């Protein structure tokens, strides 16, 4: 079986994929794989087919029993904290157990004093709380993160939201070995946080404990954007260097066999201390397999060790297959092992580093595009610099600084001082390249067809590279080019009312991507918070919703960014949009306004050399035979809402009226100027407020479909029940983002289809 265990590992993967609900696609791949085995590896054919069947049945069994036994009507719970307790501002989060079932606990702290008291909570605490159970959220926008699926794959079906957590209702129990190790990890993290310079805390915690919570958000985004994020995850290189160093030290005092046994005991502990991410488990398990083979003096190839690790991890938890960290860790390691002879055939250290970075980037390309929608052209050159910097300078210094600190703080001073200088410089380099010089290639989420094309092109490239024929990389470049140009060959256009909470953001894409327009951007409404309530990671509608959606759609240029008016919930995220995309033109209403948000936005646009166009009634533009008419504003209004830009157009056989936050005064002015104005689809103004969508306006416009952009459980209680009643009285179909999530209309020529994200 030497060198052939990889085929069994692939069979296990195919078995789990087959059990995940796409039998037709899975069957095609299984048949092709079976044909390959029958013609090339006939000895493994039967064993592989049996493995596929066993893992298929195993996954179906696990998935069938992955159900909740709790009732949504429960209000009293006895919980046990089984994971680290995270307190960020006024939010406390942890994983708890009720009986044998895991829950995601989220609690909103009510005072600074309560926050101080709850800081003493640790894993092993058992508390009695009153609260409610909520289902995890489904994705509310196209290509958004599926939180419910993520939690289900971790065997969690409910979010528990307690009314309060009182230490009087809690008591500590004897910790399990796992909980004791978690407490050691928390102490280590606290030591770094309190005794190391702030610039180094996040990096040191990431390298030593696998914890990225303290990393600066902008810096973390920079590492992600430049393809360097793997350096901040404990990977095979970290574990190899650590195990190698420990083994070299131990054999100076004890026998090799004893040193091997000590390392075999140490590595499972190390997995827990470093957060037990898939990459840590993969690297540690592989190291343990090598140590066992060394102890028994048996020869095991790296590929066999990796394959055994994969099978063991999938047996432990088949859902791991869908973890992005698991996928990237295995595919990159697999590619590097298969290419190791080609890499080592180069005498130059530079070329070895180059091909290592290149192969890692190439093998990960489809996964990076699927999950993150873009790749950085700086990734390979920066990896050539940063991989040795982190492996042989920053990581050893981090271990030395923490180790000597536990001996005596004065001993750690020179290590910490040098570490701080190097980290500050490296962080500045990351910030420089990721901010204004990122050279990111946004391609969007590849379809299944393009995933197959990428896989085939990359496989062909690897085969040819082994023969020193590097021209085959051209096939990968061809697929990238085809992927980049695919929107310009798509005959379908779309209109999407994004779910941005309490705000407006409408995405319009014309067929063949003749035009990409964004009517408003949404924006995060301010909340007055006490200093103790401020969170390190603040949710931002631009960064967390609009930008990821646009990138997932492969958008690189926005032809028109239309700011209907200056309210924060309409243009608050515009700055984030301008920072990430090339905006050709910003459109605002003609007339002087004293809105400071809009004025700042115009100044930013001018600094970025974005053309600012002011429009009013009578203006229009035509693109690809589609006309957009400006119906409002006509004059300057005192309030911003009635100064909203109103647009009329025809898309997919329907007439559309986009109204911003127009109120009753503006509506009267509009129907006075256009007494025959009618529209099939009405974007209901001002989120369904009772100050808009009057009886007179509806009588004139006579919409068939009403779209309402409104936040779930918003503080303004929008939409007004009176507005809903007016619409229902006229048999208007009502689609609203708080109930349906994003609302999508895909069309071609004079026909189209509406769909919603939530059923």
Q: Domain containing 550 — which CATH number?
A: 3.60.15.10
Closest CA to 555 of 563, 567, 547, 566: 547
Q: Are residues 478 and 495 in the same domain?
A: no
Of 174, 195, 213, the residue at which a domain comes to its end is 174
CB 401, CB 192: distance < 8 Å: no
Q: Are residues 116 and 227 in the same domain?
A: no
Q: Are residues 520 and 651 in the same domain?
A: yes
Residue 635 has pLDDT above 80, yes or no: no
Over residues 659-674, the mean pLDDT reads 95
Q: Are residues 310 and 208 in the same domain?
A: yes
Portion of the chain with pLDDT greater than 90, in percent: 74
Place 39 in a pLDDT band, splitting at 50, 70 and 90. Answer: confident
Over residues 290-298, the mean pLDDT reads 84
- Is residue 476 situated within a structural domain? yes
Q: What is the pLDDT of residue 2?
A: 67
- Is residue 664 situated within a structural domain? yes
Domain interval for residue 477: 451-488
Q: Are residues 144 and 288 in the same domain?
A: no
Does the model's pTM come out above 0.85?
A: yes
Closest CA to 723 of 680, 693, 755: 693
Q: Omega of the bond prior to 633 within 30 degrees of 0, cis?
A: yes
Phi, psi of 381 (to 5 degrees): -60, -35
- Is residue 149 situated within a structural domain? yes
Q: Are residues 642 and 721 in the same domain?
A: yes
CA angle 63, 64, 68 (to 5 degrees): 90
CB 361, CB 383: distance < 8 Å: yes
Residue 652 has pLDDT above 90, yes or no: yes
Of 437, 472, 507, the residue at which a domain comes to its end is 437
Phi, psi of 138 (to 5 degrees): -85, 160
Question: Is 391 buried (19+), middle (13-18) or exposed (0-12) by CB count in 10 A?
Answer: middle
- Is residue 69 situated within a structural domain? no
The CATH number linked to 114 is 2.40.50.140
- Is residue 366 situated within a structural domain? no
Write the DSSP string, 155-168.
Answer: TEEEEEEES---GG
Measured distance CA(308)–CA(289) in Å, rounded: 8
CB 196, CB 204: distance < 8 Å: yes
Total residue count of the chain as it appears in this document: 759
Q: What is the pLDDT of residue 29?
A: 85
Q: Are residues 627 and 661 in the same domain?
A: yes
Q: What is the radius of gyration, based on Cα positions, of the chain?
A: 29
Q: What is the pLDDT of residue 213?
A: 84
- 82-117 residue pLDDT tens: 999 999 999 999 999 999 999 999 999 999 999 999
Q: What is the pLDDT of residue 470?
A: 66
- Is residue 199 situated within a structural domain? yes
Beta strands 557-558; 611-615: pairing state: unpaired
Q: How far apart are the first and last CA of the chain?
A: 50
Q: Are residues 466 and 428 in the same domain?
A: no
CA angle 308, 267, 274 (to 5 degrees): 105
Question: What residues form DSSP beta bridges with 683?
Answer: 658, 707
Place 232 in a pLDDT band, splitting at 50, 70 and 90. Answer: confident
Q: What secondary structure, in 3-state letters, does 624-657 show?
A: CCEEEEEEECCCCCCCCHHHCCEEEEEECCEEEE
Q: What is the pLDDT of residue 1?
A: 58
Residue 299 has pLDDT above 90, yes or no: no
Q: Are residues 554 and 465 in the same domain?
A: no
- 254-283 residue pLDDT tens: 988 899 999 999 999 999 999 888 989 999
Phi, psi of 684 (to 5 degrees): -60, 130
- Is residue 374 situated within a structural domain? no
Over residues 106-129, the mean pLDDT reads 93
| Residues whose CB is less than 8 angstroms from the CB of residue 284 and which lie 6 or more positions away in sequence, other chains included | 239, 267, 268, 270, 271
Q: Are residues 623 and 587 in the same domain?
A: yes
- Quote the number of domains for the chain: 5
- 487-525 residue pLDDT tens: 999 999 999 999 999 999 999 999 999 999 999 999 988
- 310-362 residue pLDDT tens: 999 999 999 999 999 999 999 999 999 989 888 888 888 898 999 999 999 99
Of 108, 139, 174, the residue at which a domain comes to its end is 174
Q: Are residues 81 and 133 in the same domain?
A: yes
Q: What is the pLDDT of residue 44?
A: 87
Q: Are residues 49 and 90 in the same domain?
A: no
- Is residue 70 situated within a structural domain? no
| Residues whose CB is less than 8 angstroms from the CB of residue 504 and which lie 6 or more positions away in sequence, other chains included | 519, 520, 522, 564, 569, 570, 660, 661, 683, 687, 709
Over residues 140-154, the mean pLDDT reads 96
| Residues whose CB is less than 8 angstroms from the CB of residue 180 and which lie 6 or more positions away in sequence, other chains included | none
Residue 664, both tokens: 């009753």
């Amino acid at each position: 079986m030497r060198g052939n265990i990889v085929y069994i590992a692939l069979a296990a993967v195919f078995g789990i994929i087959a059990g995940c609900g796409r039998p037709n696609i899975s069957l095609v791949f299984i048949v092709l794989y079976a044909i390959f085995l029958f013609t090339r590896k006939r000895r493994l054919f039967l064993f592989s087919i049996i493995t596929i069947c066993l893992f298929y049945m195993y996954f179906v069994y696990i998935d069938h029993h992955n159900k909740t036994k709790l009732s949504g009507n429960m209000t009293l719970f006895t919980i046990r904290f089984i994971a680290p307790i995270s307190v960020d501002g006024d939010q406390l989060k942890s994983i708890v157990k009720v009986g044998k079932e895991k829950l995601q606990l989220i609690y909103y702290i009510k005072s600074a004093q309560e926050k101080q008291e709850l800081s003493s909570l640790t894993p092993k605490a058992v508390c009695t709380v009153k609260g409610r159970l909520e289902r995890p959220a489904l994705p509310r926008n196209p290509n958004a993160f599926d939180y419910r699926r993520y939690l289900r794959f971790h065997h969690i079906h409910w979010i528990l939201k307690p009314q309060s957590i009182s230490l009087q209702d809690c008591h500590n129990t004897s910790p399990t070995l796992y909980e004791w190790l978690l407490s050691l990890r928390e102490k280590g993290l606290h030591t770094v946080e309190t005794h190391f310079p702030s610039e180094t805390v996040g990096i040191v915690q990431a390298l030593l404990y696998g914890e990225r919570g303290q990393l600066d958000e902008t810096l973390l985004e920079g590492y992600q954007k430049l393809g360097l994020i793997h350096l901040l995850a404990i990977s095979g290189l970290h574990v190899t260097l650590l195990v190698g160093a420990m083994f070299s030290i131990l054999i100076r005092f004890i026998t090799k066999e004893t040193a091997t046994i000590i390392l075999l005991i140490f590595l499972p502990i190390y997995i827990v201390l470093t957060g037990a991410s898939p990459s840590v488990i993969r690297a540690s398990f592989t190291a343990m397999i090598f140590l066992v083979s060394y102890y028994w003096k048996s020869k095991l190839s790296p590929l066999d060790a990796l394959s055994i690790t994969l099978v063991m991890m999938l047996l432990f938890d088949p859902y791991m297959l869908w973890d992005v960290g698991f996928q990237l860790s295995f595919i990159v390691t697999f590619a590097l092992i298969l290419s190791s002879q080609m890499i080592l055939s180069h005498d130059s250290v530079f070329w070895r580093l180059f091909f290592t970075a290149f192969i890692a980037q190439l093998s990960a390309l489809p996964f990076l595009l699927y999950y993150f929608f873009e790749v950085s052209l700086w990734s390979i050159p920066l990896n050539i610099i940063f991989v040795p910097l982190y492996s042989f300078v920053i990581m050893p210094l981090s271990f030395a600084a923490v180790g000597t600190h536990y001996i005596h703080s004065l001993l750690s001073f020179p290590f910490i001082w040098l570490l701080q200088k190097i980290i500050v410089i490296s962080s500045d380099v990351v910030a420089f390249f990721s901010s204004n010089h990122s050279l990111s290639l946004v391609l969007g989420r590849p379809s299944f067809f393009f995933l197959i094309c990428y896989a085939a092109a990359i496989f062909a490239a690897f085969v040819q590279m082994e023969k020193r024929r590097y021209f085959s990389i051209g096939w990968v470049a061809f697929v990238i080019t085809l992927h980049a140009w695919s929107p310009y060959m798509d005959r379908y256009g779309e209109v999407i009312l994004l779910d941005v909470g309490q705000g407006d953001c409408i995405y319009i894409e014309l067929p063949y991507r003749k035009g990409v327009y964004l009517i408003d951007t949404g924006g995060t409404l301010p909340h007055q918070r006490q200093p103790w309530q401020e969170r390190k990671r603040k949710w931002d509608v631009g960064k967390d919703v609009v930008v990821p959606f646009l990138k997932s759609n492969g958008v690189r240029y926005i032809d028109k960014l239309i700011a209907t008016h200056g309210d924060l919930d309409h243009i608050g995220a515009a700055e984030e949009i301008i920072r990430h995309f090339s905006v050709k033109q910003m459109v605002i209403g003609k007339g002087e306004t004293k809105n400071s948000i809009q004025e700042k936005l115009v100044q930013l646009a001018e600094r970025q050399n974005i053309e600012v166009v002011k429009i009013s009634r009578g203006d229009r533009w035509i693109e690809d035979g589609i006309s957009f008419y400006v119906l409002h504003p006509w004059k300057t209004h005192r309030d911003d809402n009635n100064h909203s830009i109103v647009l009329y157009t025809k898309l997919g056989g329907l007439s559309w009226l986009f109204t911003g936050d127009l109120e009753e005064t503006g509506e009267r002015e509009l129907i006075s100027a256009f007494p025959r104005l009618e529209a099939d689809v009405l974007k209901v103004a001002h989120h369904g407020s009772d100050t808009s969508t009057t009886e007179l306006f509806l009588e004139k416009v006579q919409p068939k479909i009403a779209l309402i952009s409104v936040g779930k459980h918003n503080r303004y209680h929008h939409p007004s029940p009176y507005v809903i009643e007016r619409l229902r009285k006229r048999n208007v179909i009502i689609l609203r983002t708080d109930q349906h999530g994003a609302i999508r209309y895909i069309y071609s020529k004079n026909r189209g289809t509406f769909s919603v994200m939530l059923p």
